[in-house]
Structure 1
């Protein structure tokens, strides 16, 4: 069984974005693992495994425009099904 079943990926476009601030907020406020928050002050790529991807999307929307959103169910993938 996978502890955090949704692989959540997206891009955030905005102004004065901070990898460190985003990383710290997600780490402190959402359960999950495998967090990556990389980019610069105008574009950040997020990758995070969680059971509550909608919370991550809600937070990221508060920072700027989000797009290229991918949420895959890793439990389904391990069963050979589409994620």
Structure 2
């Protein structure tokens, strides 16, 4: 972290995964074991999971989630820009 970027993880990544036999616990464990980040939220049921995660590599999160089912309502916001008063 630097003075210009006080955040350890820059990108707020949010999306929905629609699929079959989804398991929020398994998805959460995969995130913890394979991605660097924080503020993980993986909630839903076996057909729809909402993901919220702070990371520096949102593209890796999207690639993984796309293997689980259809992903949509994808939002990746730059929290450093937001903190500077700019559009994220």
TM range (shorter): over 0.9
Normalization by structure 1: what TM-score? Answer: 0.99
Alignment equivalent of 1:18, drawn from 17, 23, 27: 23
Q: Distance in 1 between matches of 2:40 and 2:32?
A: 8
Question: 1:17 Cα deviation (Å)?
Answer: 0.0
* Greater gyration radius: 2
Q: Distance in 2 between matches of 1:11 and 1:60?
A: 9
What does the per-residue CA deviation read over 1:39-58, in whole Å, with 9 as the maximum and x for residues that have no partner?
00000000000000000000
Structure 2: runs of 5+ lacking an equivalent: 1-5
Work out the number of aligned pairs and report it: 83
Instruction: Give 4+ residue runs of structure 1 displaced > 3 Å after superposition.
Output: none
Map of 1:28 onto structure 2: 33
Normalization by structure 2: what TM-score? Answer: 0.94
Structure 1: runs of 5+ lacking an equivalent: none
